[in-house]
Amino acid sequence: MKMNKTTTKLLQTIPVLILLAVPVVVTNNYVLNVLIMAGIWTLLASSLNIMIGLVGQLSMGHAAFYGIGAYISGLLSVRLGIPIWLGMPAAGLATTFLGYLIGKLTFRVRGSAFVLVTLGLGEVMRLVTNNWMSLTNGPLGLQGISPVKLFGVNFTYKHYYYFILLLVLLVSYIIWRIKNSRFGRAFIAMNENEPLANAVAIHSERFLVLAFMISTCIAGIAGSFYAHYVTFISPDLFLLSNTVTIVVMVIVGGKGTVLGPIVGAIIFTLLPEWLRAIDNYRMLIYGLILMFSILFMKRGIVPSFARIIKKKRGALHEYS
């Protein structure tokens, strides 16, 4: 039933060691930049996975929380000179609070309220940041956000890579812990069968709000990182297409699993880069790959492969 403990440990450590070694081998800044972006998308996909994969609620405004985190951190930096070390916690706290408010309001009634409100939030935020010239500089975007600096060291690509890797590992660890706790079980129970979850004393509203708060917190932190990494942000962050990209990453990678969104985020960040070479056919190939994976790997890449491996051992388990 259980894998050999040392085998499991090895399977967990080897990828981490490889990831740690990347900047030693790779010195090309373009490649590092792509990997850093993959890291940001991984944070977003992992956080949205809490909603789509665990509690089973579709948040269509995930880019909104990403953008809000970026703008809070960016504005604090540009207007008040506050560094990322304070800006990032501020962004995380603010998006958590916003998640709490929206969750409290929308989860009271079930159905489409949550999808619609989150969908609307992104659009509202895009309009606000576009038109509030005096604060956000409107469509011209916010420039001159301070790059990350620690102990007098100005971050280079290598540093940013380690920073985002640390965040990704931390977030993955947190999600993995939650998933295997009474909280994660309550999340999954609501997704599977809400009346039965209620019957065993799981308060739907309470846990939906909690899940959303964790999810929006991570998205806000990802936004803060982006703002200080790119040092320029614009209202385009709030575009629906960003949310759709995150949703695709979660679904294709494998919702409900810890690894799925990571795989999805990496594939859908690297793929457009590789396909740059064939230029005009890029979107065509992208679409075909998307269709193929949805048709032939309904549960997503990670669960599909896990299924093949586990079938040999007889035991099947979703959400692993």
- Judged by CB under 8 A, the residue of 124, 202, 285, 297 near another protein is 202
- Judged by CB under 8 A, the residue of 188, 219, 251, 306 near another protein is 188
- Judged by CB under 8 A, the residue of 197, 246, 251, 301 near another protein is 197
State yes or no: residue 309 binds another protein (CB under 8 A): no
DSSP assignment of 84-136 equals HHHHHHHHHHHHHHHHHHHHHHHTTS-SSHHHHHHHHHHHHHHHHHHH-HHHH
- Judged by CB under 8 A, the residue of 150, 198, 298, 311 near another protein is 198
| Run of H or E including 60 | none
- Counting every residue, how long is the chain? 320
- Judged by CB under 8 A, the residue of 109, 151, 182, 312 near another protein is 182
Amino acid at the residue 8: T
State yes or no: residue 50 binds another protein (CB under 8 A): no
State yes or no: residue 94 binds another protein (CB under 8 A): no
State yes or no: residue 168 binds another protein (CB under 8 A): no
* 233, β-bridge pairs: 142
CA distance 268 to 260: 12
- Judged by CB under 8 A, the residue of 80, 201, 295, 308 near another protein is 201
- Identify the DSSP state of 203: -
CA distance 243 to 247: 6
CA distance 231 to 123: 23
- Cβ proximity to another protein: between 61 and 92 the closer is 92
State yes or no: residue 174 binds another protein (CB under 8 A): yes
Tell me how far, at minimum, the Cβ of 212 lies from another protein, in Å. Answer: 14
- Judged by CB under 8 A, the residue of 9, 79, 108, 177 near another protein is 177
State yes or no: residue 298 binds another protein (CB under 8 A): no
Instruction: Map residue 154 onto helix, strand or coil.
Output: strand
Applying CB under 8 A, the residues found at the interface with another protein are 1, 174, 177-178, 181-183, 185-186, 188-189, 192-193, 195-204, 210, 314-319
